[in-house]
Structure 1
Amino acid sequence: MLDLEKIRAETPGIVLGTAGAYLHNAGAALMPQAALDAQKNHLDLEARIGGYAAATREAQRLDAVYASVARLINAAPDEIALVENATVAWQMAFYGLALTFKPGDRILTAQAEYAANYVALLQIAKRSGAVIEVVPNDATGQIDVAALERMIDSRVKLIAITWVPTNGGLANPAAAVGGVARAHNIPYLLDGCQAVGQMVVDVVQLGCDMFSATGRKFLRGPRGSGFLYVRRALLRNLEPPMIDHFAAPWVARDAYELRADARRFESWENNYAARAGLGAAVDYALSLGLPQIEARCRSLSARLRQGLGLVPGITVRDLGASPTAIVSFTHERFPAREIVTGALAAGITIGASDPDSTRLDAEARALPVLVRASPHYYNSEDEIDRLIGYIAGLKA
């Protein structure tokens, strides 16, 4: 069982009382003291002795971040690249594959796909002549795995889905999708941006070839940090869309040689302070236990959904057989942004999700801007109830 009192005492935003009831973890979570200290200490070291010397002095600790991330997702350190954010991670994998796409090749994706990913699909479809096809949902609102299976043929060159979309509380059946991909030997790119840190992640069990994630959300790391996993068997055949002399050393006047590990997706210059913070955040989550974290996240979000469902005028907009710690809802009289602004004035931090962030899903369900509340394991039941009480007290 998680020691909530200790966890909250190790969270500066809670200790200082500056964050209020902070329920916006799908945007950017509150860092634990350990992650903050790691980042600040490295910056202080850079200020004292310079960036190069600091990186050299802390090389062992910084290199250990690869092993920490690998442990987090059940991978090997050489399958991990540390990058600026989840979008860069996803793009490095996708555009590396896209170099091989030809007219008529098919890309299968989900209805709740995130905007940043989908516009990249559109760009490559325009450039290459590849075709984007959306797998329909099942009755629960998650991707229909049986329909996916029926759509498979020799022209399918990629399955790319978001595991936990930005709105709707949904957790797509990522492992079942991985089973289809593996059975047909199709590359599988999984966006795990909002799954990492709130759920158990095992890339072997998921069956994905590539997995992208950020540090700033449920993982509680700093902004400007993220990582990419590439399965070793695919790694050797995947050329990054862009390289420098770190990713591919210049071995002769007319030749370069790609690194053998996933660091071929990195560049030489890095934000080492953010990397230190990311490593500390990962180690902190691992010390608590991801099964325990996931259980508490699901418990708190279930409490929030149940409470909101009893408030007149509220429609909870979540989908899927097993909703995550992202709770999306609308009020019949108050627009989402007005609710978010009013909640902040009352000391409650939540967010909003625009239709154009998941356009296919929003258009299919005729969704307006949604209120998005995302509790995390460090939240208390009282904070959940504060939000429910605030929503229930709204008066026209």
Structure 2
Amino acid sequence: MRTMSIPMPDPMAIDVEQCRAETPGCSNVLHFNNAGAALPPQPVLDAQVGHLNREAAIGGYEAEAEAESQLQHTYAAIARMLDCTPEEVAIVENATRAWDMAFYAMPFEEGDRILTSRAAYASNHIACLQVARRTGAEVDVVPHDEYGQIDVEALRSMMDDRVALLALTHVPTNGGLVNPAAQVGEIAGEAGVPFLLDACQSAGQMPLSVDEIGCTMLSATGRKYLRGPRGTGFLYVQKDWIERLEPPLLDLHAATWTGPETYEIHSDARRFETYEGHVAGAVGLGVAVEYALTLGLEAISERVQMLADTLRTALSGASGVTVHDAGRTRCGITTFSAEQKTAPAIQTALREHDINVSVSTPSSTRLDAEARGLPDLVRASVHYYNTEAEIERFVSRLKSVLKG
């Protein structure tokens, strides 16, 4: 039986000042790089550092045994966030490994079709190309509609009995677009085709019910909008699919050596894990997920969208600046370029004033970047602990940088 959905909170319930007080980094930087790695709150730091201190005091294995209930809490917290069961959750070292463990477990054959989107992340598309070379499968890119998101009707028309997987990036790395994952899930469900959703940029900034989305597998990271530790990620696999997928690698954690020439793979999602892991990170990840659930993902989503819309409007009024975000529904990621300076030059100049942004290069989403003729982009990604005053300061400093 699946867990109950998280109740919808009041969007005004987020106490921004308290969240900022619990975020040490807010005193040091204006952080608009939350899609890279968000500033962690103090409870996450305390959990992670506390476990490292226990490792130093009593030993790594002993500290892990002592933290068993905290580790189990991490599985439970992720399950609550995704509306699934803890047995459907694997904790791994990053989102790429989570996605790879699911993707490379698929038994692709010659003639199979992998449907993906134009805004797929580079790591995912490279994996698709590698598997196509190895197996003779085909990679087909679904067209985008006038909003820049995956064209749902085009996807429906491309479905046939050779489609072996739908692979979708929920929120691309190079803009505010939110792809219509639930509509893709509906099509996948009707066709009985597995659906792998990359939720790396969406986990922590919007609700992610796997039942409502209809995905078979979902990969995500801890370091971005969940505000968790780096070196943490997780994978969801729908229970009816777990034993249909053989992981691309096994060890004594994922399987049991039952005889000289036999082994049994574990029956839950932990078959996608390996023995050695970042225990302090996993403990901190659970605290980060709980922190987000306590605030409420609906409330987080509403505030993030409001801040991002405010930022886009302000940037649109800056001389020489072009905002490149697409999508009917948008999120906390804003990307722009400027006539006066390159994106790396802007990033460097802002960093000198303790303002953090990142640069999104065409190579990270090559198909989309080439189709839209995108240059290197400045990526400014807000989170709920950011403020309207920070947006004003950011745009003011940007204008000064562009004049310099």
2:190 counterpart of 1:183 = yes
Structure 2: how far apart are the matches of 1:277 and 1:57?
15
Distance 1:81 1:299 in 2: 33
Task: Please give the secondary structure, in 1, of the residue aligned with 2:211.
Answer: helix
User: Is 1:110 aligned to 2:110, yes or no?
Assistant: no
Aligned partner of 2:24 in structure 1 is 12
Which letter does structure 1 place at the counterpart of 2:365? T
Q: Secondary structure at the match of 1:159?
A: strand
1:65 aligns with one of 55, 71, 74: 74
Q: Distance in 2 between matches of 1:375 and 1:60?
A: 33
Task: Say yes or no: does 1:128 pair with 2:135.
Answer: yes
Distance 1:85 1:354 in 2: 21
Structure 1 counterpart SS, 2:252: coil
Matching of residues 208-287 of structure 1 within 5 Å: 208-287=215-294
Give the letter aligned to residue 30 of structure 2.
Answer: A
Opposite residue 24 of structure 2, the aligned amino acid is P
Aligned to 2:312: 305
Match of 1:385 in 2: 392
Q: What SS does the aligned partner of 2:336 have?
A: strand
Q: Which residue of 2 aligns with 1:155?
A: 162
Amino acid at match of 2:375: P
Q: State whether structure 2 residue 15 is matched by structure 1 residue 3.
A: yes
TM-score, with structure 2 as normaliser: 0.96
1:348 lines up with 2:389 in the alignment: no
Q: What is the Cα deviation at residue 371 of structure 1?
A: 0.5
Paired with 1:392 and 1:40, the residues of 2 have a C-alpha distance of: 39
Give the CA deviation at 1:347.
2.1
In the TM superposition, what is the alpha-carbon distance from 1:362 to its structure 2 partner?
0.6
**1:31 counterpart SS class:** coil
* 2:48 is the counterpart of 1:39: yes
Q: Letter of the aligned partner of 1:32 in structure 2?
A: P
Within 2, Cα distance between the matches of 1:392 and 1:177?
Answer: 40
CA displacement at 1:311 relative to structure 2: 1.1
AA in 2 matched with 1:171: V
**What's 2:99 paired with?**
90
Q: Secondary structure at the match of 1:132?
A: strand
Question: CA deviation digits over 1:323-381, x for unaligned, max 9?
Answer: 11000011012111111111111221111101000000010011110010000000011
1:376 aligned onto 2:383: yes
3-state SS, counterpart of residue 358 of structure 1: helix
Distance in 2 between the 1:318 and 1:159 partners? 24
Query: How many angstroms does 1:288 deviate by?
Result: 0.6
Match of 1:314 in 2: 321
Which runs of no fewer than 5 residues in structure 1 stay unpaired? Answer: none
**1:95 & 1:79 partners in 2: Cα distance?**
18
- Post-superposition Cα deviations, 1:84-130, rounded to whole Å, max 9, x if no partner, equal 00000000000000xx2111110000000000001000100000000
Q: Deviations over 1:38-97 (max 9, x none)?
A: 000000000010011111111111111100000011111000000000000000000000
Q: Which runs of 5+ in 2 are unaligned?
A: 1-11
Q: Which residue of 1 aligns with 2:4?
A: none
Amino acid at match of 2:318: V
Match of 1:80 in 2: 89
Shift of 1:297: 0.3
Q: Which residue of 2 aligns with 1:395?
A: 403
Following superposition, which runs of at least 4 residues in structure 1 exceed 3 angstroms of deviation?
none
**Equivalent residue pairs, number:** 391
TM-fit CA distance, 1:236: 1.8
Equivalent residue number for residue 24 of structure 1: 33
SS at 1:190 equivalent: strand
The Cα shift of 1:391 comes to 2.2
Counterpart selection for 1:139 from 143, 146, 169: 146
Q: Percent identity?
A: 52
User: Corresponding residue for 2:63?
Assistant: 54
Q: Residue type matched to 1:37 in 2?
A: D
Deviation per CA, 1:18-52: give whole Å up to 9, x if none. Answer: 2x211100000000001000000000000010011
**Secondary structure, counterpart of 2:104 in structure 1:** helix
- Name the amino acid aligned to 1:24: N
Name the SS for the 2:255 alignment partner: coil
What's the secondary structure of 1:96's corresponding residue? Answer: coil
